[in-house]
Structure 1
Amino acid sequence: MIAEFVSFAAPEGDTREDIMKDALGTVAHWQANPELVRKHYLLSEDKRQLMGLYIWPSIEAAKRGHNPEWIAQAEERTGGKVSIAYYDLFMLLDNAAGMLVQYPA
């Protein structure tokens, strides 16, 4: 499994409510992606930085989800540069679900 962090600046002047409305507009797109396992929508404490934490089965799947066209539209929509980083998600502890999952290499 792969954890992908996608971050960019929040649009200048946007409130939390504006950001929520914009994020809700992306939900159907991500729900329709059969490769996406999970997405977390994150906003920095000062409400200036947005981040998506995505869980994918592979880096290739992540790169298909965030292809050059997606990056271009995100940068156009938000006015900020998109930054992407990938991590090997080797283990997940979920206290709410009472489970520990280890992922093979």
Structure 2
Amino acid sequence: MIIVTTSFSLPRPLSGEEARQIFLSTAPKYLGVPGLLRKHYVLSEDGQTAGGVYLWNSRAEAESMYTEAWRVFVREKYQTEPVVRYFESAVTVDNGSNQISA
């Protein structure tokens, strides 16, 4: 599995409620995306940085998301350039199901 983090500095700090409303407005576009298992929207404690943590089946499926069109969407929505980082997940601990997978 692949974990991707995205982050971007915001033009002005957001409150938790402002961020929640913005994130809810974009969340439906991620439903049904091939290979995307889960997405967590994140906001720093100071409200100045936002982003996401994504769990993907494969790197190829992840890369298909972070296209120039996606970057344009982020730039237009948040007036900033996103940073995308890829990580391989070798082992996962899932306390919800009490399982460890490799």
If the length of structure 2 is used for normalisation, what is the TM-score?
0.90
How many percent identity over aligned positions?
A: 27
State whether structure 2 residue 81 is matched by structure 1 residue 85. Answer: no
Unpaired segments of 5 or more residues in structure 2?
none
What RMSD in Å do the two structures reach over aligned CA positions? Answer: 1.3
Q: 9-18 or 72-81: which moved more?
A: 9-18
Change (3 A) 1:14 1:43: closer
Equivalences, count: 102
Query: Which residue type is aligned with residue 22 of structure 2?
Result: D
Unpaired segments of 5 or more residues in structure 1?
none
Measured after TM superposition, the shift of residue 12 of structure 1 is 1.1
Deviation above 2 Å: which 4+ runs of structure 1?
none
If the length of structure 1 is used for normalisation, what is the TM-score?
0.88
Query: Which residue type is aligned with residue 83 of structure 1?
Result: V
For 1:22, the equivalent position in structure 2 comes to: 22
